[in-house]
Amino acid sequence: MYKTILLEGNIGSGKTTFSHYLSQSQIANRLSIHNEPIDKWRDLNSLNLLKAYYRKPEKRAFLFESYVALTMIDHHRALPRDGSDIKVMERSYFSAIRVFKPTLVDQHLMSNYESEVFDAIVNEQLSQYADALKYDLVVYVETPIDKLTSNIYCRARAEESGYIRVPYLLELNHYYNQWLENLPENIPVIKVMNNSTRKQLELMTPTYAESIVKALDI
């Protein structure tokens, strides 16, 4: 049997960078790292839904977030590679429905009608895939807003460039904090502080790896 970690954080927080350092840490042979399924959002039968969303979020937020939730179900259902007893998921179904969706509603990018339909779909999925959606630990990469914007600028994803604003990032932070404060009591949270250089994060990763093993009690 394996344990599941949700690796979470705001847009540009450094989740992929941290997972890379974890894959080189002392627990690397125990890990099966599953990166955010962004390729699915960029190519649905040759349609780039991520780009379409950022270009007209007021028209496509419901469409995009519904597809994200659907792909995240598959993300949760994917089994770790043979020999691994820790599955690390970059992003999860829960950040899609507890963080991004309410942010879209607050910013009037998803209507009340769309919100109700989305919630109805979510309630059915939560029931249908309850076993697959279980998790044991949340690792949250906490990154200052100025570093988020710098990281987004530096990675220069064509879909994102010039379209992600600070108020949106602040709203996501708000809902991340709210979600993390209301996790089930048996789910621990480890916060990875990414407020310095990549080298500093790399140097701290072995310590975080030890905390992960301790939190999972394995």
The 10s digit of each residue's pLDDT in 33-88 is 999 999 999 999 999 999 999 999 999 999 999 999 999 999 999 999 988 999 99
Count of the separate structural domains present in the chain = 1
Nearest-angstrom CA–CA distance, 117 and 105: 13
Dihedral Cα 102, 87, 187, 192, nearest 10 deg: -70
Domain around 207: 3-216
For residue 212, pLDDT beyond 90 = yes
40: left (phi over 0), alpha (psi -120 to 50) or beta: alpha
Alpha helices in the chain (DSSP H): 15-22, 38-42, 49-55, 57-77, 93-95, 101-106, 112-128, 145-155, 166-181, 198-216
Half-sphere exposure of 135 (CA within 13 A, CB side): 27
Query: For 5, phi and psi rounded to 5 degrees?
Result: -110, 135
Q: Please tell me the predicted confidence (pLDDT) of residue 83.
A: 87
27, 33, 16, 11: which is closest to 198 by C-alpha?
Answer: 16
Q: How far apart are the first and last CA of the chain?
A: 11
pLDDT in tens, 6-46: 999 999 999 999 999 999 999 999 999 999 999 999 999 99
**Between the CA of residue 204 and those of 8, 42, 191, what are the distances in Å?**
17, 33, 12
Q: Please tell me the predicted confidence (pLDDT) of residue 41.
A: 98
Q: Please tell me the predicted confidence (pLDDT) of residue 144.
A: 97
Q: Which two tokens stand for residue 191?
A: 């916060």
Dihedral Cα 78, 84, 87, 88, nearest 10 deg: -120
pLDDT in tens, 174-210: 999 999 999 998 999 999 999 999 999 999 999 999 9
For residue 218, pLDDT beyond 90 = no
Residue type, 210: E
Find the CATH number of the domain harbouring 45.
Answer: 3.40.50.300
pLDDT in tens, 135-184: 999 999 999 999 999 999 999 999 998 899 999 999 999 999 999 999 99
Q: Please tell me the predicted confidence (pLDDT) of residue 192.
A: 98
Residues 6+ apart with CB under 8 A from 56: none
Answer yes or no: are the C-beta atoms of 14 and 97 closer than 8 Å: no
Q: Please tell me the predicted confidence (pLDDT) of residue 1.
A: 87
Q: What does the mean pLDDT of the chain come to?
A: 96
Rounded average pLDDT over 101-124: 97
pTM: 0.96
Residues forming beta bridges with residue 138, ordered by sequence position: 6, 189
Residue type, 36: E
